[in-house]
Amino acid sequence: MFHATGLAPAHVTGTLTGSCGDNPGIACRLAWDLSHSTNAAQLVTVYLAGPASRAGRILFIVILALVVRTVVGRLIKRITERAATATLPVAPNGRMHKAAVAVHAAGLERRSQRARALGSILRSAVSAIVFGIAALTILGILGFNLAPLLASTAVLGVALGFGAQNLVRDYLAGILMLVEDHYGVGDTINAGVATGTVEAMTLLTTQVRDVNGVVWHIRNGTLDSVGNESQGWSRAVIDYPVPYGEDLNRIRQLMDQAADSMYREPGWREVMLEKPEVWGAQELSSKEVTMRIVAKTAPMQQWKVARELRARVKAELDAAGIAPAGPDTIVITAPSGPGDQAEAGVAEPVVAERLAEEEGSGGAGTP
């Protein structure tokens, strides 16, 4: 009498399933078919089929990571290049606005540099993420226990977050400044601690050279607010003092004539985006009225335009016989009557005494 104790077939030594298991691989099956040796089949399985399978899987993961990195990198490059190209505004008559053309020409190189920098940062981030995932997957294939590794990585990240928070803040601030285009190389900025031209900019620091030639290295994380004096367009502001008793309407006309003649010249019209405007009286005092005239210019051209416009306003007012006013102006009026002659007689000794004191002080200072 036979008693069935189980339905699963037993692995009998000397057979294919006994040597290679229930699911024999290609290498083990080939070794068994060629040698019919259990030892040979097991050696091929342990030392050839297993490592070859792992190597194949690792090679597949590496190739897949390279393909993903290449595809995403090209996509990022295409997006950044498209973002670097801006469309000029077109007027109803089909012509492009002169100010828009000037601003676009001045910022084209800047946008290209910014797009390339952003593309480089994004590609680096994608490479780190893709290859990081691939490395963890390969370690899992090789038999490493990833749980302790991930736990230690989390602890290390927390430690870096607390110990190097200033460094992390500087890098994050640098990335946000680049993404939002706060400023770039060649811009003139007011960073609070220093005002000057940006010579270099990294994700960690910004290098600024002021008017005295001093180079300032400023950490990006410490810049709470930054004033950019050369982004898009600039404005030249000229304050010119005139005597209090002059006709302001006449002064305004003369200043407008000087500004209009300068704006009509082709050389200056290339850097002046709009015709200068006379805003009028800016400040008042007992001796003078400060008149303000402004001009919208291309970036970094405001000082050049301001110097030339100031000189032309002075020449126009001088030609009209209007003397400049200032704190050192002395007005002497001749007496017209007997009473005025008496007052002048009292005032003359005072003036003579002041002049004598000034000469005496000047002579005392001379060796």
pLDDT of residue 237: 92
Examine residue 254 and state whether it is found in any structural domain, yes or no: yes
- Model pLDDT for residues 246-261, shown as the tens digit of each residue: 889 999 999 999 999 9
Where among 281, 303, 319 does a domain terminate?
319
- Model pLDDT for residues 98-129, shown as the tens digit of each residue: 555 555 555 666 677 677 778 888 888 899 89
pLDDT over 70 at 50, yes or no? no
SS3 323: coil
Is residue 240 located within the same domain as residue 212? no
Written as one string, the DSSP assignment of 50-101 is: HHHHHHHHHHHHHHHHHHHHHHHHHHHHHHHHHHH--PPPB-TTSPBPHHHH
pLDDT of residue 349: 45
Q: What is the spatial distance between Cα 108 and Cα 101, in angstroms, rounded to a whole number?
A: 10
Is residue 18 located within the same domain as residue 115? yes
Examine residue 171 and state whether it is found in any structural domain, yes or no: no
Query: Which of 165 and 95 is assigned the larger pLDDT?
Result: 165
Is residue 130 located within the same domain as residue 28? yes
- Model pLDDT for residues 279-326, shown as the tens digit of each residue: 989 888 888 999 999 999 888 888 899 999 999 999 999 998 888 775
In terms of average pLDDT, the best of 223-232, 341-350, 354-363 is 223-232
pLDDT of residue 192: 86
pLDDT band at 214 (very low <50, low <70, confident <90, very high): very high
Examine residue 153 and state whether it is found in any structural domain, yes or no: no
Is residue 113 located within the same domain as residue 220? no
pTM: 0.53
Query: Which of 363 and 326 is assigned the larger pLDDT?
Result: 326
Please, where are the H alpha helices in the chain?
16-20, 26-35, 38-44, 50-84, 98-141, 146-163, 165-180, 248-263, 266-269, 302-319, 338-365
Is residue 137 located within the same domain as residue 221? no
Where among 194, 211, 228 does a domain terminate?
228
Is residue 18 located within the same domain as residue 122? yes
pLDDT over 80 at 360, yes or no? no
Q: What is the spatial distance between Cα 236 and Cα 227, in angstroms, rounded to a whole number?
A: 16
**Domain total of the chain:** 3
The phi and psi torsions of 137 (rounded to 5 degrees) equal -65, -40
Check residue 299 and report its DSSP letter. Answer: T
Burial (0-12, 13-18, 19+ Cβ within 10 Å), 298: buried
- Model pLDDT for residues 313-349, shown as the tens digit of each residue: 999 999 988 887 755 545 555 555 444 444 444 444 4
pLDDT band at 218 (very low <50, low <70, confident <90, very high): very high
Where among 90, 116, 144 does a domain terminate?
144
Rg of the chain, C-alpha, whole Å: 41
pLDDT of residue 121: 82
pLDDT band at 41 (very low <50, low <70, confident <90, very high): low
- Model pLDDT for residues 149-184, shown as the tens digit of each residue: 778 777 777 777 776 778 888 888 888 888 787 888
Is residue 129 located within the same domain as residue 247? no
The whole-chain average pLDDT of the chain stands at 76
pLDDT over 50 at 199, yes or no? yes
Is residue 109 located within the same domain as residue 201? no
- CATH code of the domain covering residue 212: 2.30.30.60
- Model pLDDT for residues 13-32, shown as the tens digit of each residue: 566 565 565 566 566 666 66
Query: Which of 357 and 324 is assigned the larger pLDDT?
Result: 324
Q: Would you say 56 and 90 are in contact if contact means Cβ atoms under 8 Å apart?
A: no
pLDDT of residue 332: 53
- One-letter amino acid for residue 88 of the chain: L
Domain range for residue 284? Answer: 234-319
Examine residue 356 and state whether it is found in any structural domain, yes or no: no
- Model pLDDT for residues 51-78, shown as the tens digit of each residue: 767 777 889 999 999 999 999 989 988 8
